Amino acid sequence: MSIGLIFSGQGAQAVGMGASLYENSAAAKARFDEANEILGWSLTELCFDGPEEKLTETRVCQPALYVHGCAAVEALKEQGKLPQISAAAGLSLGELTAHAIAGTYDFATGLQLVAERGRLMQEACDATEGAMASLIGGSVDAARELAKKHDVDLGNLNCPGQTVISGPKEGIAAAVADAKAAGFKMAVPLKVAGAYHSRLMQPAREAFQQFIEGFNFKTPDMPVLTNTTGDTISEPNGIKAALVSQITSPVLWESCFRSMMAMGVQSFYECGPGNTLAGLAKRIDKEVPVITKGEWENL
């Protein structure tokens, strides 16, 4: 059976994430310990013990999700439970995890990229008054029109009937108030630190573009989908450009998932905390199995 690996983004984190892998898998423990050394602070302490508000900070959350995803894959390999993988993808931050697993860069390089991405996006959040909201029901065209009306951006196209808008706090509040009249069942403000995947992240995008140029990328060992188009990119400079663009572009997760299915992927492993992507998958195609592989009991 053709297997695809998928990795979640911010919002999936939870205190305790990865602790069971650390305690039971030498390979996973090595990844977490290496991360502590590279970062210069205890990622394991914040992942395993919190507090939640600290783990939720962008500069912490992004490395936490990246390391957890990589550790889960290492634990699967160690147990001989990772079959041949046909493709990989990740939602937002998860796309960088997918590239580490695909060999575009090594674990340490990926962690440096993720840590700087998180730091820069944290700065952008702190410098702006941004917000996000999930729109339930309605079409993508209706979401686009609502965003345009209130001068905000489309942040995520996650699955049928679920889009996310992102932008200035006042504009998001106005769009939420107007959502039912625009044909949506409901609009739910998200508990996030800022307006990810919107124009308010432009300073982070520009700084990350300069930072990423100093790293060598390789052609990935397997197809990796990009959030910016929902298609694969294999040329190293093209991958860099996509990761930069992704910071302010909408996350086309439904397109990524459908592209993997079109490539023949029949089953998915969600490597990381929780089952956020499994939930989205049920809305895209309820017949496609997504198996959670985030903690020791899942292995």
Active-site residues, by number, are 92, 197
Residue 137 DSSP symbol: S
CA 141 to each of CA 182, 228, 232, 273, 280: distance values in angstroms, whole numbers, following the listed order: 11, 18, 24, 32, 19
The residues, any chain, with a CB within 8 Å of residue 48's CB and separated by 6 or more, are: 15, 16, 17, 18, 19, 22
Distance of alpha carbon 265 from the chain centroid: 20
What separation, in Å, do the N-terminal and C-terminal C-alpha atoms of the chain show?
Answer: 18
Q: How many CB atoms lie within 10 A of CB 49?
A: 13
Token look-up 């914040």 returns 46
The identity of residue 2, as a single letter, is S
CA 251 to each of CA 93, 94, 191, 228: distance values in angstroms, whole numbers, following the listed order: 10, 11, 18, 6
Quick check: 227 and 246 in contact, CB under 8 A? yes
The residues, any chain, with a CB within 8 Å of residue 129's CB and separated by 6 or more, are: 168, 169, 170
Quick check: 154 and 134 in contact, CB under 8 A? no
φ, ψ (nearest 5 deg) of residue 263 = -80, -5
The residues, any chain, with a CB within 8 Å of residue 155's CB and separated by 6 or more, are: 132, 164, 165, 166, 195, 196, 197, 198, 250, 251
